[in-house]
Amino acid sequence: MGALENTLRYFRTASEVMDLGDRIERFLTTPRREVSVQIPVEMDDGRLETFVGFRVQHNNARGPMKGGLRYHHEVDLDEVRSLASLMTWKTAVVDIPFGGGKGGINCRADLLSEREQERITRRFVDGIHDVIGPHKDVPAPDMGTGPQTMAWVMDQYSKYHGFSPAVVTGKPVDLHGSLGRDAATGRGVMYATEEVLKAYGKGKGIADSTFAIQGFGNVGSWAARLLHEKGGTVVALTDVKGGIRNAKGLDVTDVMAWLRRTGSVAGYPEAEPCTNEELLSSKCDVLVPAALSDVITKENAKDIRAKFIVEGANGPTSWEADEILHRKGVVVVPDIYANAGGVTVSYFEWVQNLQVDTWPEEVVNTRLHGKMVQSFGKIRSIAESRKVPLRTAAFVLAIGRVASAASKLGVS
């Protein structure tokens, strides 16, 4: 099953609970615009290569569309459509005034030089600059992209439209980025973990819990560092090149230093090697998938031993796996809430850019904390009153907000 079909399954489970009706359901599952551009680029060795880039704008009933830009060799229209719709639900769950969009370029970001990445990014912006903008659609980082990519997007867009820092978020801090944005998604994962443990951890908090984390990039490494800082024991970590585990706990700061030296967590001396499958079935309290989508499947869900899954990645759990986990009593904190810290601080960055202001990092983190606590309270209350899992509850909350805005605007 493709990524989009998976997201639609989750949507439909919630829309049935809400008795949404066909008309509004069809409206909310139809993207407003899908753009596909060919990006011919001269490579460092003089060859001309053509990349394909996408931007899908799913819904703008609650505000300008918002969503990341992914550089990965599995990017295709189906995946970008799915991620764009997840952004609509995510911005609604945390109640920030944005809709949902997503973009991506099919490429091997890890094999491209920085100059090649810059040329690809600038040519991509040439192809989409007229459909994005501070009040239309605001990209941000995702897998394979980061603050430097966002700086190029801002600069290239500004060549067409004049100085426009608010066209993109996740920029470098010294180039109109927000303090706290780099850590925001991982920090949100940590706050989400704190909330779910408070609610269902039977007295166990982060400091009494063990964690296995898949992916050690922006989201996974910040989540690991912040959970470790709160006293949590990280027992397993993987990245694209391999993984490590140590039942007594990994020193995350030291693993970060190892990663900086070697380019991977693999080979870290104070641990044993660990595959992705071993990580997913690790003995731990909380599993944090923070890399790819569709990694928890109907084949491996039965092997999961964690009591909680906090979805740092987008779409890591297939709907069949989700049902198996629910039957097993595993509490899944869904992506549209768990990793919403990034888009929340992106919203704060957008506000600062529009107001030509800079907030101190404590203000950013305190406001993020407020959003994560408040949203969890609402999701939990829907889950308990309607007797549904947290994912369905989060979709009910989000769909309710988007449907209400759309029907007040008039859907036709």
Binder of ligand NAD out of 99, 101, 104, 312 (CB under 6 A):
312
Partners of 332 in the beta sheet? Answer: 309
Binder of ligand NAD out of 94, 120, 183, 291 (CB under 6 A):
291
What gap in Å lies between CA 345 and CA 222, rounded to an integer?
14
Verify binding: residue 185, ligand NAD, rule CB under 6 A.
yes
Q: Which positions from 201 through 220 interact with ligand NAD, judged by CB under 6 A?
A: 214-220
Rounded least distance, CB 142 to ligand NAD, Å: 5
Residue 155 or 239 with smaller CB distance to ligand NAD = 239
Stretch that binds ligand NAD, among 158-166, 201-209, 285-293, 298-306 (CB under 6 A): 285-293
Stretch that binds ligand NAD, among 141-149, 156-164, 249-257, 400-408 (CB under 6 A): 141-149
Sheet with 137-141: list strands edge to edge: 33-42, 48-59, 100-106, 65-72, 137-141
Residue 206 or 244 with smaller CB distance to ligand NAD = 244
Binder of ligand NAD out of 79, 116, 142, 285 (CB under 6 A):
142
- From 102, 171, 307, 371, active-site residue: 102
Q: What are 149's two structure tokens?
A: 């990519």
The residue with tokens 């007040």 is: 408
Verify binding: residue 292, ligand NAD, rule CB under 6 A.
yes
Phi/psi at 3 (5° precision): -60, -40
Site string for ligand NAD, 313-342 (x = CB under 6 A): xx------------------------x--x
Query: How many binding residues for ligand NAD (CB under 6 A)?
Result: 24
Q: What are 24's two structure tokens?
A: 């509004």
Q: Which positions from 257 through 276 interact with ligand NAD, judged by CB under 6 A?
A: 276
- As a whole number of angstroms, the longest Cα–Cα distance in the chain is 62
What gap in Å lies between CA 341 and CA 191, rounded to an integer?
9
Where on the phi/psi map is residue 211: left (φ > 0), alpha (ψ -120 to 50), or beta?
beta
Partners of 53 in the beta sheet? Answer: 37, 105
The total of other beta-carbon atoms located within 10 Å of residue 356's CB is: 9
Binder of ligand NAD out of 87, 143, 274, 368 (CB under 6 A):
143
What gap in Å lies between CA 343 and CA 139, rounded to an integer?
10
Phi/psi at 49 (5° precision): -120, 145
340 near 346, Cβ under 8 Å? no
Catalytic site residue 171? no
Residue 291 or 306 with smaller CB distance to ligand NAD = 291
List active site positions.
102
Q: State the residues that interact with ligand NAD by CB under 6 A.
A: 141-144, 185, 214-220, 238-240, 276, 290-292, 312-314, 339, 342
